[in-house]
Amino acid sequence: MATVASIINRCNRVAFGMRKYSVRAVSLVYSEYGEPIKVIQPTEQQLESPAPNQVLLKMLASPVNPADINTVQGIYPEKPRLPAVGGKEGVGEILEVGQNVKNLSPGDRVVHLTTEPGTWRTHGIFGENELFKIPKELGLAEAATFTVNPCTAYRMIKDFRTLKPGDTLIQNGANSACGQNVIQLCKVWGINSVNIVRNRPDIDKLKEYLTELGATCVLTEEEIRSTDIFKTEKFKRPLLALNCVGGKSALEILRHLGLRGAMVTYGGMSRDPVTVPTSAFIFKDISTHGYWMTRWSKENAESAARTEMFEDIIQLMLSKNIHAPAHEFVKFDQYKNALMNTLSIQGFAGKKYILDFE
């Protein structure tokens, strides 16, 4: 595969007083579901000027999320019509806008909003309403991973229970990309976060990393079983538990919830279902829920809540309260490494691979 620079044939034209591009874009396309490195083919496409409500976007960076891999595999509930371009989030710079585009201009930096995939490409034509303008000062990794993990963490903390400063949240898989955002948001909002991770050889290093991010407390799956942190009233009993593991781990965090606590499941890394004792439902009034960012985004595409959330998160990123989770940029022509490694994550924290189109 040619590098991005070599295949773009940029033709500057002057027409109606606007710069016009004719761009040869490269997209990561799949025409059948299967293992990403087998079914995905880099494919060239000639892009012309955008239609009246569209813009021509040069992508800067786009992460490879686990859900993106599952989508290509065909095991995700949302199956895009084939052939499809992979990737659902990313940041780009606008090259050209259609004549009816009101709120975006060439040079603006935007993130991709829609739940339809298609961000693993050097350039693309997008509708104005598929994009959200962000400040250029935002870090590239933060911008590229803006719409999924921080938003998932934000909504899960806000939408199921009203947590006040001094309240407690417990989560498993705390080193996941979403978990790292949860830790940082809890710190900003004054919520104590009790963070559960699997034991591992470099556990002290992981505990140190998460503590520096803002974790109030980091415990292994074994340590949480025998902890007395809630009995000694060091922390209030959690009102909210976030679960991305399932099985025994989910039961363990649920067991510590206080009266009327809620557990929100957003992943199932152990592949075991969630088990809840009958007594927890009846006598502790625990409820259990699920969260899926894709559905929330679809249902709130036009909502003030979404704009408010975006603005909140952008401010927290600009003020360095929220950093992108552990990540590594991968040059676009090395995309296969990113695809292969996303579901077999090495290292102490969930490392996110971000395709770099520059």
Whole-angstrom Cα distance, residue 171 to residue 265?
10
**Least distance (Å) between residue 284 CB and a copy of itself:** 8
Indicate whether 280 belongs to the interface with a copy of itself (CB under 8 A): yes
Whole-angstrom Cα distance, residue 279 to residue 105?
58
**Least distance (Å) between residue 36 CB and a copy of itself:** 21
Binding span for a copy of itself by CB under 8 A among 111-119, 219-227, 285-293, 343-351: 285-293
Indicate whether 200 belongs to the interface with a copy of itself (CB under 8 A): no
Per annotation, catalytic residue among 21, 76, 209, 266:
76
- Other CB atoms closer than 10 Å to residue 355's CB: what's the count? 28
146, 154, 209, 291: residue in contact with a copy of itself (rule CB under 8 A)? 291
Q: Which of residues 48-107 bind a copy of itself (CB under 8 A)?
A: 77
Picking from 199, 214, 154, the residue whose alpha carbon sits closest to that of residue 178 is 154
Burial class (CB in 10 A: 0-12, 13-18, 19+), 294: middle
Indicate whether 258 belongs to the interface with a copy of itself (CB under 8 A): no
Which DSSP category does 255 fall into?
A: H
Indicate whether 282 belongs to the interface with a copy of itself (CB under 8 A): yes
279, 319, 344, 346: residue in contact with a copy of itself (rule CB under 8 A)? 279
Indicate whether 246 belongs to the interface with a copy of itself (CB under 8 A): yes
- How many residues bind to a copy of itself according to rule CB under 8 A? 27
Instruction: Read off φ and ψ for residue 342, nearest 5 degrees.
Output: -60, -40
Indicate whether 22 belongs to the interface with a copy of itself (CB under 8 A): no
203, 274, 318, 340: residue in contact with a copy of itself (rule CB under 8 A)? 274
Whole-angstrom Cα distance, residue 206 to residue 194?
14
Indicate whether 275 belongs to the interface with a copy of itself (CB under 8 A): yes
Q: Is the dihedral of CA 84, 90, 93, 97 positive or negative?
A: positive
Indicate whether 347 belongs to the interface with a copy of itself (CB under 8 A): no
Binding span for a copy of itself by CB under 8 A among 167-175, 195-203, 282-290, 310-318: 282-290
Task: Tell me whether residue 266 or residue 353 sits nearer to a copy of itself (CB atom).
Answer: 266
Picking from 272, 264, 179, the residue whose alpha carbon sits closest to that of residue 218 is 179
Residues in Cβ contact with 10 at an 8 Å cutoff, skipping those fewer than 6 apart: 21, 22, 23
The distance in angstroms from the start CA to the end CA of the chain is 15
Residue 154 annotated to the active site: no
Active site residues: 76
Residues at the site binding a copy of itself, with contacts judged by CB under 8 A: 77, 246, 265-268, 273-292, 295
